Amino acid sequence: MPWLTKVCTLWLILVVFTAAVADLIPGLADPNYQGFVFGDGKTNEGPTASHWLGTDNVSRDILARLIYGARVSLIFAFSVVAVGIIVGGTLGSIAGYFRGFLDTCLMAFVDTWLSYPAFIGFLFVSTMLGMRNLLILCLIGFIFVWPPYTRVGRATALAVSGQDFVTAARAIGTSRRRILVREIFPNVLPALLAYSLVGLPLLIILESTLSFLGLGVEIPTASWGGMINQARQDLLINIWPAVWPAATLFMTVYSFNNLADWVRKEAASQSAAI
Partner 1 sequence: MGGSEILRVEDLHTSFFLPIGELQAVRGVSFSLQRGRSLGIVGESGSGKTVLARSIMRLNTGSNVKTSGSAFFNGRDLLALPRREMRRLWGTEIAMIFQDPMTSLNPMVKIGRQVTEHLRQHKNVNRRAARQIALDLLNEVRIPEAESRIDRLPHELSGGMRQRVSIASALACEPSLLFADEPTTALDVTVQHQILNLLSREQRQRNMTMVIVTHDLGVVAGRTDDTLVMYAGKVVEQASTDEIFDKTQHPYTEALMRSIPRTAQPSHTPLAAITGRPPVATHLPAGCSFSPRCPYVQPRCHEEDPPLVSIGTSGHKAACWYPVGSDANREAFERNLSDRLPQTLAVAESLDADQSSGTPADLPDGGLA
The set of residues, in sequence order, having a beta carbon less than 8 Å from that of 120 and lying 6+ positions away, is none
Cβ distance to partner 1 smaller for residue 135 or 181: 181
Smallest distance, partner 1 to C-beta of residue 97, A: 11
Cβ distance to partner 1 smaller for residue 24 or 172: 172
Q: Is 5 left (phi over 0), alpha (psi -120 to 50) or beta?
A: alpha
| Cα 76 from Cα 210, distance rounded (Å) | 12
Smallest distance, partner 1 to C-beta of residue 260, A: 21
- Cis peptide, bond prior to residue 220, ω within 30 of zero: yes
The residue ranges that bind partner 1 (CB under 8 A) are: 100, 163-165, 167-175, 178, 182-183, 186-187, 274
Smallest distance, partner 1 to C-beta of residue 162, A: 9
Cβ distance to partner 1 smaller for residue 167 or 233: 167
Smallest distance, partner 1 to C-beta of residue 160, A: 9
Smallest distance, partner 1 to C-beta of residue 191, A: 12
| Cα 186 from Cα 230, distance rounded (Å) | 45
Cβ distance to partner 1 smaller for residue 95 or 227: 95
Write the secondary structure of 157-181 as one string of H (helix), E (strand) and C (coil).
HHHHHCCHHHHHHHHCCCCHHHHHH
Bridge partners for 268 per DSSP: none
Cβ distance to partner 1 smaller for residue 172 or 236: 172
